[in-house]
Structure 1
Amino acid sequence: MDAWDQSGYTKLNIWKLTEFSKLVYVDADCLVMESIDDLFSRETRFAAAPDTFPPDRFNAGVLVVEPSLEVFEDMISRIGVMHSYDGGDTGFLNSYFHDWFTMGEASRLPFRYNALRTMYWLTQKKPGQPAGYSYWNAVGAVRCLHFCSFPKPWDQRLQAPKGELEQKWWVAFAECQLMLRIKGVSTPTLKKQG
């Protein structure tokens, strides 16, 4: 395994998967809540949704990618040269696709495809705000919920979920566990941390 591959740049491997014409990458800490199949029909080589701050940067938790060995090799050749503001692949990809914010509309995914939990915390229930109104509610149905901040819902084992979004994760987890058990698949038992 190459040193770059062990250093937080593993997402770059997506571009090597040239047996596929298009890929939709979803981080492991995302919960897909509605179909995102329509992302495969976007006419673009690269697409991402905006990050919380600054909005002209993207969050690499959900990506639409047209694999290309040429792009992959170009990225690898720039690892030691190109700046990564976070020391990992998200910062590197933002430097590599520095013009993402000005690319065509197909390259900019709506927030609902990578709804960052941080944005929920920042926009819910502000003083003087009408009930039920927030940026979060205005974006429409969230298709992919991204638990990109800490603590992760699964880190709160056997504790009451902290909020509405964490409850969504626990419901999805419980439904999955039940479905697996009905099919006779053994699932690990959660134990209290401590």
Structure 2
Amino acid sequence: MINNTNLPKAYVTLVTNNSYIKGAIVLGYSLRNYKASHPIICLVTSEVDPAYIAQLSKLFDQVIKIPKLDSHDSKKLDLLGRPELGITFSKLHVWNMTWLSQILFLDADTLVLKNIDHLFSQYENTHFAACPDIGWPDCFNSGVFMCKPSRQIYSDLIKLSQDKGSFDGGDQGLLNSYFNTWSKDQNQRIPFTYNVTPNAVYSYAPAYQQYQSDIFVLHFIGNPKPW
């Protein structure tokens, strides 16, 4: 595993297709607006039109084309109610970005409300950290996570995806299976305020009212999206 802290750190997002362009642009602007001090990188698959890639290149420090990875697990994706999430396996390429020492990954449907640079130092000694998922809090939501790129972990994840697949058909189930000590290790838990899902089926309205000023990141899961 790469432990060289002299390597740069970065914010990374992923655009799997044209429908996430607007979200990625809003995310990029929100990171700029709150003075993110690390480079902002956008990964794109072959399903993103060149004209949109050019648009992203004006905002992000780097736009990197990656091979598309897809679970092709329609049965589990139907159970999840998100048939479009098979392509999120492309997120695994984050662990192959070994020229970086640390990555804060943000889904393209997240919105940053405050500066979150402090997460890099707070989780500097942790190989992986994420926020609880509102639907099953003993699992993490893979829309926001901190990780350290590693060719070994990348290889492990690719092998796991090929051998066993994901219990939900998307990247979140696969990552929860691999990082399966997350629920027992407080050092790997990022507070929910860094991945708040206001449009989830269930929400605890009094808590939203009480802690709304503490929210750092909103995550617009599912459909419809604000854009």
TM-score (norm 2): 0.58
Give the whole-Å Cα distance in 2 for the aligned partners of 1:84 and 1:8.
Answer: 11
Residue equivalent to 1:151: 224
Say which of 23, 31, 45 aligns to 2:103: 23
| Contact map agreement 1:52 1:118 (CA 8 A) in 2 | no
| Contact map agreement 1:120 1:136 (CA 8 A) in 2 | no
Residue equivalent to 2:193: 112
| Contact map agreement 2:88 2:170 (CA 8 A) in 1 | yes
Deviation at 1:39, TM superposition (A): 1.1
Give the whole-Å Cα distance in 2 for the aligned partners of 1:135 and 1:81.
Answer: 41
Deviation at 1:119, TM superposition (A): 5.2
Please state whether the residue corresponding to 1:148 is helix, strand or coil. Answer: coil
Residue equivalent to 1:9: 89
Deviation at 1:77, TM superposition (A): 1.1
Deviations 1:30-72 (A, max 9, x none): 0000111111111200000000121000110101001100110
Give the whole-Å Cα distance in 2 for the aligned partners of 1:51 and 1:38.
Answer: 22
Aligned pair in 2 of structure 1 residues 61, 3: CA closer, same or farther (>3 Å)? closer
Say which of 134, 144, 164 aligns to 1:82: 164
Deviation at 1:120, TM superposition (A): 8.7
Write the letter of the residue equivalent to 1:30.
Answer: T
Alignment of 1:117-132 (within 5 A): 117-118=198-199, 122-124=203-205
Residue equivalent to 2:207: 135
Deviation at 1:11, TM superposition (A): 1.0
- Structure 1: tracts of 5 or more residues without a match: 125-133, 155-194
Give the whole-Å Cα distance in 2 for the aligned partners of 1:119 and 1:106.
Answer: 26
Give the whole-Å Cα distance in 2 for the aligned partners of 1:2 and 1:123.
Answer: 36
Deviation at 1:2, TM superposition (A): 6.3
Please state whether the residue corresponding to 2:143 is helix, strand or coil. Answer: strand
Residue equivalent to 1:40: 120
| Contact map agreement 2:68 2:90 (CA 8 A) in 1 | no
Please state whether the residue corresponding to 2:203 is helix, strand or coil. Answer: helix
Going by fraction, where is strand more abundant, 1 or 2?
A: 2
Give the whole-Å Cα distance in 2 for the aligned partners of 1:81 and 1:13.
Answer: 18
| Contact map agreement 2:200 2:221 (CA 8 A) in 1 | no
Please state whether the residue corresponding to 1:79 is helix, strand or coil. Answer: helix
Q: Percent identity?
A: 38
Residue equivalent to 2:180: 98
Aligned pair in 2 of structure 1 residues 145, 98: CA closer, same or farther (>3 Å)? same
Write the letter of the residue equivalent to 2:225.
Answer: K
Determine which structure has more spread, i.e. the larger CA radius of gyration. Answer: 1
- Structure 2: tracts of 5 or more residues without a match: 1-66, 72-85
Residue equivalent to 2:6: none
Aligned pair in 2 of structure 1 residues 143, 2: CA closer, same or farther (>3 Å)? closer
Residue equivalent to 2:38: none
Residue equivalent to 2:17: none
Segments of 4+ moved more than 4 angstroms: 2-6
CA RMSD after TM alignment = 2.1
| Contact map agreement 2:183 2:189 (CA 8 A) in 1 | yes
